[in-house]
Amino acid sequence: MQKRKNLKISRYVILGALITSMVIPNTPLCDLSVSARCNPIVQIQPRAITTNPGESFCLSILVNTCYIQTRALWFNMTYPSPAFTFQNLTYHNLLGTNVYQKGGDNGAGLIDCIISRGYRNPLAPVNGTFATIYFTVGSTVPPGVYQIWLESHIYDLRDSYYNDTPRHCANINVIASGDTSGSGGDSGDTSGSG
């Protein structure tokens, strides 16, 4: 009698386990939630430059999106105008073919730009130098440390994933011609608004 009772209980336990396993879905790795992904890293390099009035310099935007497959990257760069004059922006085709650039310099110390992949291109993670921006220091700029700020935003079309990356800055140390004692120092990248 007891054996028959135990056998009946065992059947119910097995049946319950089977039903539970059918109800609880197994989430495949490719459908990980946004929170399970690593955050993209976008930086401005070099973070410290020492230069003289009248000279030119360039800054690169580096991006590492890990396994986020980037559709577009928007960035907003503010620079001290008229101390620096924007010369040119070149972007590196890390997104595939048919990449287009929208926006640019507004002539008043702001570069507002979107670089986006063509919609028919296969998605792939982006790693490396994204864009290089060239500036000229004004010939009459007083010596001192000036800052250029970069804010960026990454868009992944697969699930409308948006990511605002931390704010970064670069120090541009303008020194008098012939002065070799100047040092740009670290930029002190920050996620705050300074």
Please give the model's pTM, rounded to 2 decimal places: 0.71
Question: Pairing relation of β-strands 48-51 and 161-174?
Answer: parallel
C-alpha distances in Å from residue 71, one per residue of 61, 66, 94, 134, 169 = 17, 13, 11, 25, 24
Of 151, 183, 125, 138, which Cα lies nearest the Cα of 44? Answer: 151
CB 173 within 8 A of CB 50: yes
How many CB atoms neighbour CB 15 within 10 A?
10
Q: Indicate whether 15 pLDDT > 90.
A: no
42-85 pLDDT, tens digit per residue, is: 899 999 999 999 999 999 999 888 777 788 888 999 999 999 99
Q: Quote the percentage of the chain above a pLDDT of 90.
A: 36
User: Tell me, what's the pLDDT at 61?
Assistant: 93
Q: Indicate whether 30 pLDDT > 70.
A: no
Helix, strand or coil, per DSSP, at residue 17: helix
114-164 pLDDT, tens digit per residue, is: 888 776 666 777 888 989 999 999 999 999 999 999 999 887 765 556 677
- Report which of residues 175 and 27 the model is more confident about: 175
CB 143 within 8 A of CB 174: yes
Q: Indicate whether 89 pLDDT > 80.
A: yes
Q: At 21, is the pLDDT very low, low, confident or very high (cuts 50, 70, 90)?
A: very low
User: Tell me, what's the pLDDT at 142?
Assistant: 95
β-bridge mates for residue 128, sequence order: 63
